[in-house]
Amino acid sequence: MNLKITRNLLLIITSLMLASLSCVLSNNQIAADPSVTLGPPPAEELRVILQRLDVIYLGLDGHKVIGSGCPGMDGKGSIENYHFIVQGVNKDREVTRVLVAGDNSTLTWEWPCSDNWSLLAQNIDNGTWEIFIAPSSPTQIYSIIIFYDDNTMALGMVNSR
């Protein structure tokens, strides 16, 4: 299933995750309704698994490994990249997609890229990845989503200031 993540979809997913966590933490009981069917979603649907990633923003630290656009070749080697370290990636699952979005909604970076700008994501250690993106308009908060081959995902956010 090819799913294009937009800023609105990212906000919806984040809101749903926070609402779910809020219900669990507040110990609210949901009234039994015989018309509601509980259980796992169909296998082909994306399952939201609340897994928190730890993200470190290293900023412009001299790396020039990815260019702009898709597939990231425009200016490659001449554009200094933003650099992130992501810890807590599930090493028992295969990463199939990585998405980075800024809070100013100017761009979304994606690996593998489609209509969004490309990024470079590398597994550097067990559960630790590094991500490089070509800069766009300044943003304060970056959200990073890791998608796994079993239709689950993990989310991390970092303040760049």
Per-residue confidence (pLDDT) for residue 144, from 0 to 100: 94
Q: Residue 106 pLDDT more than 90?
A: no
Q: Read off the pLDDT of each residue in 112-141 and give the average, rounded to a whole number.
A: 88
In the chain, what are the domain boundaries? 7-159
Given a cut of 90, whether residue 7 has pLDDT beyond it is no
User: What pairing do the DSSP bridges indicate for beta strands 117-125 and 141-148?
Assistant: unpaired
**pTM of the full predicted structure?**
0.68
Tell me: the pLDDT tens digits for 46-67? 566 667 899 999 999 999 999 8
Q: Return the higher-pLDDT residue of 136 and 145.
A: 145
The predicted model gives 110-117 an average pLDDT of: 83
- Per-residue pLDDT, 47: 60
Helix (H) or strand (E) segment spanning residue 7: helix 7-26
Lowest model confidence (mean pLDDT) among 4-8, 81-85, 154-158: 4-8
DSSP string, 109-161: EEES-SSSEEEEEEEEETTEEEEEE---S--SEEEEEEEETTS-EEEEEEE--
75: left (phi over 0), alpha (psi -120 to 50) or beta: left
Ramachandran category for residue 20: left, alpha or beta (phi over 0 → left; psi -120 to 50 → alpha): alpha
